[in-house]
Amino acid sequence: MSISALIIDDEQLARDELKYLLDSVGDVDVIAQGSNGIEAVELIDEHHPDLVFLDVQMPGQDGFAVIQRLADRNRAKAAKHADADAAKDAPYFPQFVFATAFDQYAVRAFDVNAVDYLLKPFDLARVTEAVERAKARIAAGSAGATSPPESGIDSQIDRLLRLLNRPQSGDPGRPPAKLIVETQSRLLLVDQADICFAAIDEGVIRIVTRAFEGQSKCRTLEELLELLDPARFWRAHRGFIVNIDQIREVMPWFKSSYQLRMNDKQQTEIPVSRAQTKRLRELFNL
């Protein structure tokens, strides 16, 4: 069984390596390649491939944004598809294999929605396994020429976005259990319970856990708070959000104010604003 495929990755060497491995696997026709998310959407619309090898982290539009954009387009097309004349513009959603530099801890969440994931640098055995899994799904009629129902697309996308900390506006559901933290050019999915605090400095939000620290892609602390569990996280100061469970010590400060010593490696000391002093006393019965 031969299948058509796209390779989308912003690194030429990664595209070349994956193309070489797919040629070695056989029965995979790489019909086009792209280097960013915009090209990915255009190439999928143009070629209707069976399978897309999609890099997670790309400039401009990452892999998740590509999937969201496809879902949005499919919803618009579904409305037109009720008209017989619009059959050529029917919704279409291929199978995806995520190509990523994430470690296995981070990519576990992807596996419930994608055919498979490939860790960089690529390995022939894993590429072969991913192709075989894709073929099995396509043969079962879950992708390819037969488009999945719109409700199925919506379900996949909604679950994926919730897992990856990109909730859609107006979603009344609970905040995601994990938060995406960027560190050393990698994106890690971190349990919220492991976060000690977040701080903003010159527009950059720093996320500090007990083991490491990185950055959030959120632009403001208000935006970050929307993603965090309100029962656990508290904005103790205009520049800090703290995990109440990760406060190591409450230290009285001058003029009836307080500082918090956190449970990170540096035992960072964080001020409590005067406006939040009452909340602190309520939390710890001071």
CATH code, domain carrying 71: 3.40.50.2300
Domain stop point among 100, 132, 163: 163
Say yes or no to pLDDT of 139 above 80. yes
User: What proportions of the chain, in percent to the nearest 5, are helix, strand and coil?
Assistant: 40, 30, 35
Q: Residues 108, 219: one domain?
A: no
The residue type of 176 is P
Q: Residues 158, 85: one domain?
A: yes
pTM: 0.52
Residue 251 lies in a domain: yes
Compute the distance between CA of residue 66 and CA of residue 181 in angstroms, rounded to an integer.
20
Residue 193's CATH number: 2.40.50.1020
Q: Residues 117, 190: one domain?
A: no
pLDDT at 263: 93
Task: Return the percentage of the chain with pLDDT > 90, whole number.
Answer: 35
Domain stop point among 130, 163, 196: 163
pLDDT at 32: 96
pLDDT at 143: 40
Which positions ≥6 away from 131 have C-beta within 8 Å?
3, 22, 25, 27, 28, 51
Query: How many domains are there within the chain?
Result: 2
Edge-to-edge strand list for the sheet holding 247-252: 247-252, 258-262, 269-271
Q: What is the DSSP letter of 143?
A: S
Say yes or no to pLDDT of 43 above 90. yes
Q: How far is CA 173 from the centre of its chain?
A: 17
Instruction: Label residue 281 by pLDDT band (50, 70, 90).
Output: confident
Count of Cβ atoms closer than 10 Å to residue 95 Cβ: 22
Phi, psi of 119 (to 5 degrees): -85, 140
Spatial contact of 212 and 265, defined as CB atoms under 8 Å apart:
no
Q: What is the DSSP letter of 119?
A: E
Domain stop point among 113, 136, 163: 163
**What count of Cα atoms within 13 Å lies in the side-chain half-sphere of residue 71?**
18
pLDDT at 80: 65
Residues listed for the chain: 286
pLDDT at 31: 97
For 154, the 3-state DSSP assignment is helix
Residue 144 lies in a domain: yes
Least confident of 46-50, 68-72, 123-127, 250-254: 68-72
Q: Residues 210, 245: one domain?
A: yes
Q: Residues 145, 273: one domain?
A: no
Range of the structural domain that residue 123 is part of: 3-163
Q: Residues 125, 39: one domain?
A: yes
Mean pLDDT in residue range 110-114: 54
Compute the distance between CA of residue 236 and CA of residue 272 in angstroms, rounded to an integer.
5
